[in-house]
Structure 1
């Protein structure tokens, strides 16, 4: 059984697909090939269930100095590699297929194509109808194994950080070993998911006054005015300037692997919905997650102890420090009670 999973979406989307990948690999005792993007492929490194990784490069994601021609040539190579791999099954691992995903399934020449969709194309041999039930996306994706007779209850998200990566980031950060380490992840792509810098500052001071602890500050690197890859360097600097009186380390991660490794050092993490949320859950860290214009029941933390806050008017800016602090305390108590 040769299986190709098509998941050309965001970082969090790919992480949320890892339970499906694991269940198929274990059921058929094979490694699963995947089609992913250049910017999310690194989350699959060291995953024992992954076979070949086919890379799709988007022109607007090419690196500095990389020509458009080189991106197009790499894309052609991916076409050829997928076509000649001779897959038995192509799975569009998405809550609803698009023409682009279907295009790649056709290129694969797979005998069977599995996807969600009530009005599925004739090219999809195994269409799974959508339901109105409120189910987490991980539970939904697990249904894609049903046409193969391989359904199982989904396990945790799977991210694999090597000992070398852990050692390297631990030496770089040098966080205290004898007190709790709390992560504050301050970035979110959508404006309605962004909590204000001054609220992170107030929360950090409240927690540090309540107990002896250390904070790691995470953010998307780059300046806010970078049109291609806007970041939160300025927001992080404002927070650090206002937190000189508490124990806190800024963690300027250069890539996803460093972020994964650094988050494993935390006892608990606060973040808005987004890729970083699923990275935290993927490395097994309890999470307090803030939701604005996204649904917690569908995108919430999977497989780890967590608390979720759904903001008034679907705007994280409207969440109070009191509300977030209360959930932070509740989660910490629950985790300690379970140890």
Structure 2
């Protein structure tokens, strides 16, 4: 049995959703080792997704070279070397690599920190430096969170896996809501977040279907809407956005109580999503952020495996067609899914512990 006073570094430097799906691991470690020092190493792009996490003592971040430009690339590399030196002085008891399989680059980075032990996945023989190897699940149909939490077994963490944790900046949320039009704030009814953007082409739902869905949900449930999208020009070859798509939708639903939420930064997306009651969106980082905020979801899946990436820890209805193309999901199916979600939430409230 290990002592409670331990130090842990969890390295998760990849996409936003991947980092959010790692937050149950942080809570599980904190519950098992309440006096431990727990730190997370992330990149500057996904860092806001972990900001304010109550189970973490420190968040270290750095800027990837591809996110820097010109002379700032040299500065980014210099800052990274300084960070490595700082983390090396911590002499962590455990560095954990919660990647979806063996991660050679993450292991190489962890070795530089000289921790006492490194925990990570292997596909075969354990490489040098990986002192606590865990066989990767491979063909087992595990959710990403279930899979990476298997790395906790050597740490004597055996409790059920918690939900996700994402913390919104309340002051930022207040500033965003202060800009909502009177047609939205003076109306009543549940608030549904509609997020238009998706990185993969097969996960993009057409604007006209969002518009029809909004009209039908408003007629049936009195719903109000927050419209989110990735800002920018869709023809930008480096960072395409959906300003044009959002403008078309806002025109089509101008007769409804709606507020646009144009999010230039990740912290703004998190704060904006925190103002919604439910969300309708495609699989991706925004979906996992909404789940981390505790929002019930209707989610559209294209060619991503739903068993691996479905929302974790919140009520949801998932739609995925045999074609694995979100464009084949009908408005009727989305309306039915939302109705089922609302009914399930009401039933759970009626049959709660107090009854």
Does the C-alpha gap of structure 1 residues 210 and 48 become closer, same or farther in structure 2, counting only changes over 3 Å? closer
Q: RMSD across aligned C-alpha pairs, in angstroms? A: 1.7
User: Is 1:231 paired with 2:222?
Assistant: no
C-alpha contact 1:82 1:107 (8 A) present in aligned 2: no
* 1:1-339 superposed matches below 5 A: 1-29=6-34, 30-62=36-68, 67-119=72-124, 120-131=126-137, 132-173=139-180, 175-176=184-185, 178-339=188-349
C-alpha contact 1:31 1:49 (8 A) present in aligned 2: no
C-alpha contact 1:269 1:286 (8 A) present in aligned 2: yes
Q: Whole-Å Cα distance in 2 between the matches of residues 87 and 227 of structure 1?
A: 42
Query: How does the TM-score come out when normalised to structure 1?
Result: 0.95
Unpaired segments of 5 or more residues in structure 1? none
Q: Whole-Å Cα distance in 1 between the matches of residues 37 and 291 of structure 2?
A: 23
SS class of match (2:198): coil
C-alpha contact 2:103 2:121 (8 A) present in aligned 1: no
Q: Whole-Å Cα distance in 1 between the matches of residues 152 and 342 of structure 2?
A: 36
Unpaired segments of 5 or more residues in structure 2? 1-5, 350-355
Q: Whole-Å Cα distance in 1 between the matches of residues 22 and 189 of structure 2?
A: 34
What whole-Å deviation, never above 9, does each CA across 1:128-185 have from its counterpart, x for those lacking one? 1123332211111211111111232111101122432332232223643731111111
C-alpha contact 1:218 1:250 (8 A) present in aligned 2: yes
How big is the shift at 1:247?
Answer: 1.9
2:353 corresponds in structure 1 to: none
What whole-Å deviation, never above 9, does each CA across 1:111-131 have from its counterpart, x for those lacking one? 211111222323211111123
C-alpha contact 1:223 1:232 (8 A) present in aligned 2: yes
SS class of match (1:229): coil
Which piece of structure 1 moves more, 16-25 or 49-58?
Answer: 49-58
What whole-Å deviation, never above 9, does each CA across 1:93-128 have from its counterpart, x for those lacking one? 112132211111101111211111222323211111
Q: Whole-Å Cα distance in 1 between the matches of residues 8 and 297 of structure 2?
A: 33
Q: Whole-Å Cα distance in 1 between the matches of residues 331 and 170 of structure 2?
A: 36
SS class of match (1:50): coil
Q: Whole-Å Cα distance in 1 between the matches of residues 45 and 237 of structure 2?
A: 17
How big is the shift at 1:337?
Answer: 2.6
C-alpha contact 1:312 1:318 (8 A) present in aligned 2: no
What whole-Å deviation, never above 9, does each CA across 1:16-54 have from its counterpart, x for those lacking one? 000101111221222311111110001121112222222
Query: How does the TM-score come out when normalised to structure 2?
Result: 0.90
Number of matched pairs: 338
How big is the shift at 1:207?
Answer: 1.4
